[in-house]
Structure 1
Amino acid sequence: VHAADTDALTLASAAAQSHFDALPLAVPPRLTTDAAERAALWHVRKGLYTAVAGARPSGTTALLEDIVVPVPRLLATCERLIELFAEHGYEGSVIFGHAKDGNVHFLLNERFDDPDSVARYRRFTDDLVELVLSQQGSLKAEHGTGRIMAPFVRRQYGDELTDLMWELKRLIDPDGILNPGVVLSDDPDSYLHDLKRVPTVESEVDRCVECGYCEPTCPSKSITLTPRQRIVLRRDMAWAEEQGDTELLRDLRADYDYDGVQTCAVDGMCGVACPVDINTGDLVRRLRAEQSNAVEGAVWGTAAKHWSMVTRAGGVALTVADALPAPLVRGVTQLGRAVLGADTVPLYDGGLPRG
C-alpha cells in the first residue's frame, strides 16, 4: 500500500484489510510499517521462485514467465491461466508477481528432452499469447522479451512498429551477431530451439535452479568456479554423456578435477545463502572420496593423528636437503612425482629454507 501522507495510508490500509478479512486464508493477515518486518517479508518473497522451482521433479526445467495486463483484467487473466495449466497438464504451477501493477509471474515445470513435452509447451505458449493479447496486455513486462516471446513481437506490436524495430536492429547490428533470436526473431519456432535441459545428475544438486544466490559467499569464486558453475558443469557432463559426445565429455572431465573439485573450500558457505538448502561442498566431498586412493588416504589419516611427529620429520628432511646439491634433491622429487603423482610429492627448490 502506497500513499502520500499518513491519513491516506491509514485509509488505504483499512480498505486492504477489509478485503483480507473476506478471504479464506490460513493465517489472518496484517499490514506492517516496521522496517525489520518488511525486510523479512521481502526476503521470503524474493525466495519464492527458487523455493518453488527447487521442489520441481528431477529432470525438469523451471520456466518463469512475465506478463502484464490492465489491472481490471487481472482476475480474468489469472482465472484463464489456471484453466490453461489444467488443460495442458501442468500440475503444481504457481502464479505470483505484482498484482497492483497487473504484472504476473507464473512458473511451470517442463521436460525438454521429450518431443511430446516440447509439443505440449508449444500448444501452451500459443494459448498464452492468445490470452494475454485478448486482454490487451503485453507478452513481457519487467524482465524484457528474451527468447521465448521474440517470435510473437510482430503479433503484439503490428507490422509498422516491428519493422521499425528491425530497422534499428540492422543499423546497430548489420551482421546479426548480437544475441540472435533475442528480443526479435524472424523464425516462428526459434523459441523451441536450444531449450535448456536439466538432466538428473546427483541428489545433492538436482533441485538447483541456478539462481546464483550462492556465488557471493563462495571463497573460490574469483579463482576457478562458483557453486552454481560447478553444478551447471556436472549437468553439461551428464548431457554430453547422454548424447554420446565423448570429446566434449573428455574435455570437461579433464578440466573439472581442478576447477570443480580441487579448488572448492567445502566450507558450506554456499548452503547458507541457498534458498533450497544445497551445500555444494557435500557434493565435492563425495567426489573427492570417490577419487581418493585408499592406501594414500590411510597414510594421510595416520599422519593427521601424529602431526607433530610428521612436521619434525619434514623439518629434518629439509635440513638434509639443504646440505645436498639442489639439483640432486630436485631430481629425486621429480622422480617421485612421476611415480606417485604431482599432487602427492612436492617439488623441491633450492630456494627453500632449512628445517
Structure 2
Amino acid sequence: MVPAIQHSVFLYLVLSCLYPSHAAQGCLNKQKVLTVIRQMQQFLKGQETHFTDGIRTMKAKLSALQISVTKLTADQPSATWCPSLEAPKHGKKFGSRYSADHEVHFVCQPGYQLIGSSTRVCQPNGRWTGVNASCTEWSDLSFNRKPRCAEVERTQRCSCDAGFHMSGSSENSVCQDVNECEVFQLEGIARLCMYNCVNIPGSYRCTCPPAYKLLNDGRSCADVDECATLQHNCTAGETCINTGGGFQCVNPQCPEPRGNISYVKTSPFQCERHPCPMNSKSCHHVAKTISFHYLSLPSKLKTPVTLFRMATAAAPGRPGPDNLRFGIVGKNNQGQFVVQRSDRQTGELILVQPLKGPCTVEVDVDMSEYRDRTFQAKHVSKVTLFISANGF
C-alpha cells in the first residue's frame, strides 16, 4: 500500500474513535492513537522536507541555466572591422572588404619594389597582419656593383655575384646586372613571366595585371574572383559574374508584353511564356522559354572551341520531339560562331574565330522542336561572352 494512503486510513480510524457515536470495539486504544499521530507528524515533516528540497533544486537549475545563457550571449563575437588601408604611392591595392578573415593585396608599378607586406589579413581583434606596404624606385646604382677580388698566386682575380657579369678593364672592372627579361626574350627562350617581367638587381620579378594575383611559382597569374571573395558592388537584385580581370553585375529581364504575348521570370536566368490563346498562331511560334547564359573567356582563345550546348527533354508521360533544328538568331556576328548537332537531342554553339578583348559579345541560339514534321515549340538561349584583355 502507498504510504500516503496507509497513513490516511490510520487517520480516519483515529478520528472515528474520537466520536462517541462509534462503537468502542474496533477503535484503537490511546497509546496506539498517539503512535499513529506521531507517525503522521513524521510523514508530513518528511513530505515538507522533500518538497522544500525539490524547490531548492529547481531554483539551482534555473540559476545555472540563466548564467549559461548570459555567458553564451556574451561570448558571441560581434562583427569585427579593421581600419581602411590605402594603396601605396606608385602601387595598387586589391580588396575592399575590411571585415575579419578578408585579405587585401598590394603590388607596385614596374620599376618599383615593394617594401612591407604584399598581403594583409584582417584579424578578429580588428588589426591587420603584416606591416604597411610602400613602393620604392629601384636605384640605378644598385644595378652596378664592385666585384669581389682576391690575389691568387700573385694574380688578382675578381668575380661577380649571380645575376651580374664582369665589365670594364682588369684595373677598373665593375659587375653589371644581367637583364634576364631581355636576355631570355632575345634568345627566343620561353618567356620567364606569364604577363610582365621586371628586371631587378641580380634577378627579375614577375608582375600581373590589375585584378590578378601572382601564384606561388612566381611567374604565373591567376584571376581574382571578386564574386567569390565578395569584392564586388552588385546590388541585391543583381548577380555577380566573375570575368578575367574584373566582374559584371547582371540582372536579365524578360521581353516586354506585346499583344497577347507575355513572359514571366521563373528564375534569375530564365523567362517562360504565358499560355497562348488557341487561335493565336503568332504566339505559338515565338520562344516558349528564354534562358540567359554568361561566359568569361580569355582574349584570342584558340579555336574551334565548344562554348555552349542546348538539349531537350520530354515531360513525363508525354512523347518528346522526334526532330530538332538549331540556328543563330539574327546576325551571325561576322561568322564568328556556328551551331551544329552533336547528337539526336543536343546542339552545340562553337566559336570558330578568335575574339580579341576586352569586349562583350552577344549571340542568341534558338532550338525548334518538331514531331511528325509539325512544329511544337521554340526555345531561345541568349549567350553573353565577356572577353578579357589578357590571353589567360
Length-normalised TM-score, structure 2: 0.20
Higher relative contact order (CA 8 A, sep 6+): 1
Larger radius of gyration: 2
**Higher helix share goes to which structure?**
1
